[in-house]
Structure 1
């Protein structure tokens, strides 16, 4: 029997190639508590740090992703860890591989590689998956860079988190100002990349790993990654979808209608997302943001190995459907259905 413990991010990840990935306040303890509370509500065996967790206290429900936190969960009987945290190569969780423990989440070394957005986009481009034009700018050449992309441009951290640190710039003056700001703050390291701005509709596609699932009470086996229905994003601020810590995704996102879901453009981009997920050997859901150009052709522009998994399991968080949950509802899943199906895809090394 699976006995589940949810991990959250306790510390900043290590600096990689001079680049620091920012940390979400609370380290995803909010979504971790949402998950744990929902599992408990439906009598799925879980362990929590507190014997009587308070629904209003996130940290009553989740264990820190430290050696002590993980061991504490094992001592309480956990044999399945939900890796609701930021992973990277040599994360302490790797020292627990090889035991009789199962995991929900990605393989840390793969997250480490693919968390580099520039590296990942170039990998996808080489495999004929449509990616916007991009240029890399470092702190050393910020006054002597060459661009082969017309304005407006999107400036992005290489190891970012959601839309934090992402800006639209309309001319060279705005770009230089943004570069000076980023490099002087040193929040996102010594490199950024700039990307072609796509003016069309933005969608988010959640791709699930291969495995066995329950959909409408029917068992279905997927031999390759498969995608949930696409979710459209709207009410952008300066051309960028706002960070969901500021605006709940339910306020600016909705699943596409059946007609558009069956259109060639959406079917094609869904196939590209599934191909990307297969290349990356995913073990848990990933989220891929895509956007159309002026001709309606979609490009994949941001791949997130750890999509948010918030949900309405607690009375004060009833508006906290994640983008993945919005998509899951279209195929008949509610929050517990989504979590149960994720739990069916556990793996061990």
Structure 2
């Protein structure tokens, strides 16, 4: 019998090679509670820290992602741990995975590696996928750089989270100011990422892993990675999609029209994103942000191993569907359907 506990991010991950990934306020406890409540509504046994979790109190529904938090969840009977947290090498969950616990989520070591935009985009580029031109910046070259692409450019963290810390920069003077400010704050660590700005349409593609799914009242086996319908982003602020902590996704995003979804351009983009998911050995949904240049050619610019999984499962959060939840609705899944299909593709070392 499935007994599920959801863990959330209780602390900032350790710096990796001097690069910091900032922590989301609340550590994804909001989406963790959305997931837990959705499962409970569907008669899945959900293990929670409190006996009677309150519907609007996020921390009643989720366990911290510490060794002690996971031990408490398993002691209370959980046999599946939902990894609604930022993972990294030597994360406490690794010990439990090696002991045979089932999980929903990614391989921690893979997240550690592919959360680095530079490493990931170099991997994708070396495998023939379209990636924007870019350069890494550190304290040594922040004032003496040689870009192989023209302004405007985008400056961003190497281990970022959504659009937090992302800036559109118009010239080298602005770039020096932005880099100095980001380095001075030390929010993102010792290295930053600068890439060419793409002026065309932005879309987000969610890629699901191979597995068993229930779609249109049928059980379907997907032998390969597959894409949910692409979601268009609009109402950008200074060329950048606003952080969803400030603007609800439902206010600036919508699934592409059928004619565009069926276009060769988007079909080719889906194929590229599915190849990217295969390269990073994704075990759960990932999200890839893509943008077209001025002639309409799409590039993959941000592969997110842990897409935010908020959803409209609780009455006070009806506007909180994530990009993945929006895409899922196009194939007939509401948030509950999406979550149940994710649960049904949990994995463990013993059966993988």
Q: Tell me the TM-score range normalised by the shorter chain.
A: over 0.9
Q: Once the 2 structures are TM-superposed, how far is the Cα of residue 134 of structure 1 from its aligned partner? A: 0.5
Matches within 5 A, 1:1-349: 1-349=1-349
Alpha-carbon deviations, 1:241-291, whole Å to 9, x = none?
000000000000000010000111111111000000011110000000000
Per-residue deviation, residues 4-59 of structure 1 (Å, max 9, x unmatched): 00000001100101111000001000000000011111111110001000011100
Distance 2:67 2:166 in 1: 33
Provide structure 1 residue ranges, at least 5 long, that are not aligned to the other structure: none
- Alpha-carbon distance between aligned partners in 2 of 1:88 and 1:165, rounded to the nearest angstrom: 21
Structure 2, unpaired ranges of 5+: none
User: Matches of 2:148 and 2:312 in 1, distance apart?
Assistant: 45
The CA distance in 2 between the partners of 1:79 and 1:123, in whole Å, is 35
Native 8 Å contact 2:97 2:103 kept in 1: no
Cα deviation for residue 149 of structure 1 reads 0.9
Q: Give the aligned CA root-mean-square deviation in angstroms.
A: 0.7
For each residue in 1:148-204, what CA deviation from the matched residue of structure 2 results, as whole angstroms up to 9, or x when unmatched? 110000001101111001000000111010011011111111111111100000000
Q: Distance in 1 between matches of 2:262 and 2:42?
A: 34
Given that 2:9 and 2:27 are in contact with CA atoms closer than 8 Å, whether structure 1 keeps it comes out as yes
CA distance in 1, matches of 2:220, 2:126: 32
In structure 1, distance between residues paired with 2:39 and 2:184 = 44
Residue 217 (structure 1) shift: 1.2
Distance 2:121 2:37 in 1: 36
Show CA shifts across 1:219-253 (max 9, x none). Answer: 11111110000000000000000000000000000
SS at match of 2:137: strand
Deviations 1:113-158 (A, max 9, x none): 0000011001000000000000111111111221111000000110
Per mean C-alpha deviation after superposition, the further-off stretch among 201-210 and 313-322 is: 313-322
Query: Alignment partner of 2:294: what SS?
Result: coil
CA contact (8 A) 1:79 1:100 kept: no
- 1:98, distance to aligned residue in structure 2 (A): 2.8
- Give the number of aligned pairs: 349
Q: How many Å separate the matches in 2 of 1:210 and 1:54?
A: 35
DSSP 3-state at the match of 2:288:
strand
| TM-score relative to the length of structure 1 | 0.99
- Counterpart Cα distance in 2 of 1:131 and 1:141: 22
SS of the residue 2:46 aligns to:
coil
Tell me the TM-score normalized by structure 2. 0.98
**133-142 or 282-291, which deviates more:** 133-142
